[in-house]
Amino acid sequence: MSEKLKVFYVSPEVSPFAKSGEVADVANSLPKYLSALGMDVSIFMPKYRRPEIESLSMELLISNLRVPLGNKQVKCRVFKSELGKYRIFFIDNARYFWRDNIYGSGKDEYLDNDERFIFFNRAVLEFIIKTEMTVDIIHCNNWPTALIPVFLKTHYAGLSRFKKTASVFTLHNVAFQGEFPSEAIALTGLNWDYLKPKGLSFKGKFNFLKGGLLFSDVISTVSSSYRRELMTRKHGFGMENILKDRRKDLFAIRNGIDYENWDPERDPYIEKNYTFSGIKSKKINKRDLIEEAGLNISLNTPLLGLISHFAEHKGFDILLEVIDELIAMEIGLIVMGRGGEEYEKRLADAKRRYPDWIVVKLGFNPGFTHKIVAGSDIILVPSQYEPCGLNQLYGFRYGTVPVVRAIGGLKETVEPFDEKSLRGNGFVFKEYSPEALLGAIREAVGFYRKPRLWNKIVKAGFRQNFSWTSSAKRYIRLYRNALELKKGA
């Protein structure tokens, strides 16, 4: 086995080119760190209609790649862009990917998501065959890429090109499974035997995620806490028994953050760069954030920042229940993201009722994201479930104190502050309820008004190190394990 592994990292979204959640940030940063450690890394993603993608310098590699889809052949183009430490390949088909959103609007998912992502999975493998590339590891992420391990062990099992190729499947969130009508199996070219209960069928539907869990050589997930939760009925979303059966192949590697991109000392997006010793400069960024957002609050008003997909599992149902109480406590709130139509409307209503205190920004803007993290006093992550969470890690890096629920990777990274021992780096609530959330915010704001203690909490977070370096090394070990498993060792 060569020391320098060739890794193809396949993701439905990659920041800043297309993002709906944290999987995009991971896909942007992990490959960079793998490359820095000597791996030969390529990313594969769909070519969506995005100005961030269109502005890239690209080379057209293939103008007419034929991809099997059911009983027909669908054409696509493949582009390549060099991004410094790694390269990115874009699968281009206007019918499937030239749309306003990745998976659908806030109201409904695209009805042909099964066809779109079956096509994407097959296109990646057909491209490898067409270009006669060799690859050691194909690293797949979430349900939209979960059929690649299935195809490797069915349609492409007899090809010498893939004989030594191992598949790694990272489960970022088991709640999103890619469930489609059973007839969609015809698009894969697999026979109906694969839709048996022990196959790709779940509750009478064709389940993409189940395919990734059953057919990949190894599975990883994004925190040790989440790995334990996945094998419970409460948090396994019906996949717990499969994951129990594969527990020897299920590894936990916690997500990290890109310390080059997230660095308050050099961040080009924020008003004033600062270091651990110059934390007072954070106030300048808070003033800039208040002014740019259009809030009418003083510099001493505690300011909460929340950057997330708008959904119940992200805690928006309990947050919206306490809006009036937050304003009564004289707390400012900045929310950025997109999501369910109901939550967008309710947030817009809250903004109309309290225009001086609440700002809602729709979409994910990289520059403003950095401004929120640098300028807020508190970063809020009130999730119902959260496999890892990155926003609390960004908060630590910028001296912004997290308030989180004790679930998944959140409880693994945030230690509740204890006034007696002076230990802890944030505030945590256990029960998923508006009352528990409000209690944690009230506790945090109470310490915010005690600058000496608040600075201790801020500095405790600053001292944390959640760079990708350590986790990337663990992924390399996982890749080597996968290759040994592939050989039958």
Per-residue confidence at 72, pLDDT binned at 50, 70, 90?
very high
Strand duo 179-180 + 205-207: pairing: antiparallel
**Residues 300/454, Cβ–Cβ less than 8 Å:** no
pLDDT by residue (tens digit) across 307-361?
999 999 999 999 999 999 999 999 999 999 988 889 999 999 999 999 999 999 9
Rg (CA), the chain: 23
pLDDT by residue (tens digit) across 118-138?
999 999 999 999 999 999 999
Mean pLDDT, all residues of the chain: 95
Per-residue CA distances from 347 to 317, 358, 444 (Å):
11, 9, 23
* pTM of full prediction above 0.75: yes
pLDDT of residue 1: 40
Instruction: Return the higher-pLDDT residue of 106 and 311.
Output: 311
* Residue 187 in tokens: 């698009």
Partners of residue 46 on adjacent β-strands: 91
pLDDT by residue (tens digit) across 435-474?
999 999 999 999 999 999 999 999 999 999 999 999 999 9
d(CA 479, CA 482): 5
d(CA 65, CA 88): 17
Per-residue confidence at 76, pLDDT binned at 50, 70, 90?
very high
d(CA 74, CA 172): 30
Per-residue CA distances from 161 to 6, 40, 111, 136 (Å):
13, 18, 34, 10
Q: At what angle do helices 366-375 and 391-398 cross, to 10 degrees?
A: 60
Query: Where do you find CATH 3.40.50.2000 in the chain?
Result: 6-256+468-486, 279-462
**Residues 69/24, Cβ–Cβ less than 8 Å:** no
d(CA 85, CA 80): 14
373-395 per-residue burial string, b: 16 or more CB within 10 A, e: under 16: bbbbbbbbbbbbbbbbbbbbbbb
* Residue 316 in tokens: 């928006």
pLDDT of residue 489: 56
101-116 per-residue burial string, b: 16 or more CB within 10 A, e: under 16: ebbeebeeeeeebbbb
The long-range contacts involving 291-299, CB below 8 angstroms and separated by at least 24 positions, are 292/368, 292/371, 293/334, 293/359, 293/361, 294/359, 295/332, 295/334, 295/356, 295/357, 295/359, 296/355, 296/356, 296/357, 297/330, 297/332, 297/356, 297/357
At 15, give phi and psi (nearest 5°).
-75, 140
pLDDT of residue 339: 87
**Residues 404/414, Cβ–Cβ less than 8 Å:** yes
Per-residue confidence at 257, pLDDT binned at 50, 70, 90?
very high
Determine how many CB atoms are found less than 10 A away from the CB of residue 42.
18
Q: CB under 8 Å to 29, separation ≥6 — which residues?
A: 256, 257, 258, 261, 468
Strand duo 201-202 + 205-207: pairing: antiparallel
Identity at 487, one-letter amino acid code: K
DSSP string for residues in 323-343: HHHHHHTT-EEEEEE-B-HHH
pLDDT at 282 over 70: yes
Identity at 161, one-letter amino acid code: R
Per-residue CA distances from 110 to 96, 106, 116, 178, 398 (Å):
10, 10, 9, 12, 37
Average pLDDT over residues 368-379: 97
Q: Is 82 helix (H, G, I), strand (E, B) or coil?
A: strand
pLDDT by residue (tens digit) across 401-432?
999 999 999 999 999 999 999 999 999 999 99
Determine how many CB atoms are found less than 10 A away from the CB of residue 320.
16
Q: CB under 8 Å to 163, separation ≥6 — which residues?
A: none
Q: Is 404 helix (H, G, I), strand (E, B) or coil?
A: strand
| CATH fold label, 6-256+468-486 | Rossmann fold (3.40.50)
The CATH H-level (homologous superfamily) assignment of domain 279-462 is Glycogen Phosphorylase B; (3.40.50.2000)
Average pLDDT over residues 39-53: 96
